[in-house]
């Protein structure tokens, strides 16, 4: 969704179970221009296909060793800009 301005968007992904709520992803993005955007929060590391897709959508269940070295955690807190 967006808050206050269509350029300011947010996304929250959570998991419930046993009376607990766990926030998996929580991020806020701002589009300065369509080509220049900044995202801040916790999300999956955009490093490899196996981290961006579910295991059922991949051809093999193994992840490359290089991914484990450069992005050891499934989710990271930080900022990302692209354009």
Alpha-carbon Rg of the chain, whole angstroms?
15
Q: Which two tokens stand for residue 10?
A: 């947010």
Among the residue ranges 14-18, 21-25, 53-57, 78-82, the one predicted with the least confidence is: 53-57
- pLDDT value at position 71? 61
**Where do the H-state alpha helices sit in 40-80?**
49-52, 65-70
pLDDT at 28 over 90: yes
- pLDDT recorded at residue 44: 76
- Which has the higher per-residue pLDDT, 17 or 62? 17
* pTM for the whole structure: 0.64
Beta bridge partners of 17: 20
Averaged pLDDT of the chain: 79
Query: Which of 59 and 16 is assigned the larger pLDDT?
Result: 16
């Amino acid at each position: 969704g967006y808050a206050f301005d269509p350029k300011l968007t947010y996304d929250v992904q959570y998991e419930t179970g046993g009376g607990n709520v766990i926030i998996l992803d929580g991020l806020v993005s701002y589009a300065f221009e369509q080509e220049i955007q900044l995202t801040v929060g916790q999300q999956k590391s955009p490093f490899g296909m196996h981290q961006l897709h579910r295991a059922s959508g991949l051809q093999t269940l193994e992840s490359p060793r290089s991914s484990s070295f450069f992005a050891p955690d499934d989710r990271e807190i930080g900022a990302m800009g692209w354009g």
